[in-house]
Copies of this chain bind each other. A is one copy, B any other.
């Protein structure tokens, strides 16, 4: 029989990894709550109609779809074979759309959240601030740092009236708090969809190429100007249009110089001016509030992949190792003021951030930022000398657990050395031995595994007090 395996792009997590992941989640959750976001959860799979068309064409093909449950296919076969008139291709298409699948795994947390808000709008008090920490699934080609199952940690505002830009400011501050706590400096790249809209206006690029334009532009940082240009030309954007605005995407000047250039260039674009006004507001306020560990940077080539963004957009990168860091964003977000209209509700205003737990994890491993996370919950192992001895010792096990000290009993009465080795392998700092001798003498024998010393105590209480004194 061959060795078992797991699907590609998925992972098992050992207890060492779990302790680190739980540590990250705990900090993110605490900060989300500190900023007044409330937790919700949504199902792992949604109706296809909820998800389809929200993420662009790529998203639709990368969704993991669920088969109808039960014995659907048997039924499907006979149903279809009854309808002899149809061609084979029709059969397959129908099989696909009606019989095979009407559900898919969550692709991100934003669309299910907006679906949640529309569905529960009568129970929700707006503006609604929610956070959500759950896995999402994408059938992307697996590669370094890209998995088919990964965790997102999202915090979002949803308002009935348009949310002020303080939402963006609070989210930036929130990220600053989280990554400061993690001892992990970040750069937040920010941009505004309306500035891109304004640039498209003045460039002469046609409206129907807007989506193609943003998808290609988003590759600027990674791929550089030439590749983006080639892709844009292939999609039907003229070289003249491209060159009219390409200059801005490479601007290395500081914020105020950029504002100056763009204010001039977009002076006749209503859209463009709105974008500039918004970004200026955010930068001025952030300057006054002061971030601890975060650099805010205006990146005019930032476009973001998701279809649904309508205003500010931002992406988060590790600050260390600046050259390679652009390859790996560890989070992102923005404003999506029209997403609810997909679900038949107008005028819901949304702003949110999404942190990629797995990307953060990998970056922190690389920078050795987990070095002080303890990985062993267990403190004490009781050596198993046989049923009578265990029964005698069990009161002490109870006593220690009552004191909140993680205590194990070795399940079998095997050779003592094997049991000591188990404590050592599992980083359990103390063993307690209670054999026939100890029962007779009414003592307990404690071994400090690392220091390799044994001490006899009169009773478990004495040992416990010694432990507490050693700030154990």
Contacts and interface: CB of A to CB of B under 8 A. Distances in A.
B62 A65 contact: no
B44 A18 contact: no
A288 B40 CA distance: 44
A455 interface: no
B36 A3 contact: no
Given A123-B14, A408-B35, A92 B73 contact: yes
Given A100-B100, A119-B4, A127 B66 contact: no
Interface in A37-90: 38-47, 49-50, 61-67, 69-71, 73, 76-77, 80-81, 88-89
B1 A159 contact: no
A411 B5 CA distance: 49
B161 A414 contact: yes
A184 to B, nearest CB: 19
Interface string A232-256: 0000000000000000000000000
B67 A65 contact: yes
A471 B412 CA distance: 48
Interface in A126-148: 127, 129-130, 135, 137, 139
A5 to B, nearest CB: 6
Given A18-B39, A422-B127, A411 B166 contact: yes
Contacts of A377: 33, 36, 38
B73 A127 contact: no
Contacts of A149: 43-45
Interface stretch (A223-231, A272-280, A399-407): A399-407
A190 to B, nearest CB: 18
A422 B161 CA distance: 14
Contact of A7 (B103, B162, B405): B103
A163 B34 contact: no
Contacts of A410: 127
A10 interface: yes
A127 B404 CA distance: 23
A177 interface: yes
Contacts of A22: 39
Interface in A5-20: 5-7, 10-15, 18-19
Contacts of A434: none
Interface in A394-431: 394, 398, 401, 404-414, 422, 425-426, 428
Contacts of A373: none
Interface in A351-399: 377-378, 381, 384, 387, 390-391, 394, 398
A34 B406 contact: yes
A4 B101 CA distance: 18
Given A6-B46, A44-B105, 16 more contacts: A1-B343, A4-B119, A6-B42, A6-B47, A12-B40, A14-B120, A36-B407, A38-B378, A65-B67, A81-B88, A166-B409, A166-B411, A166-B412, A167-B411, A285-B387, A289-B398
Interface of A: 1-7, 10-15, 18-19, 21-22, 33-36, 38-47, 49-50, 61-67, 69-71, 73, 76-77, 80-81, 88-89, 91-92, 96, 100-101, 103, 105, 115-116, 118-120, 123, 125, 127, 129-130, 135, 137, 139, 149, 157, 159, 161-164, 166-167, 170, 177, 281, 285, 288-289, 343-344, 377-378, 381, 384, 387, 390-391, 394, 398, 401, 404-414, 422, 425-426, 428
**Closest 8 pairs (CB-CB, A-B):** A69-B139, A36-B408, A1-B344, A10-B43, A15-B38, A125-B425, A18-B39, A33-B377
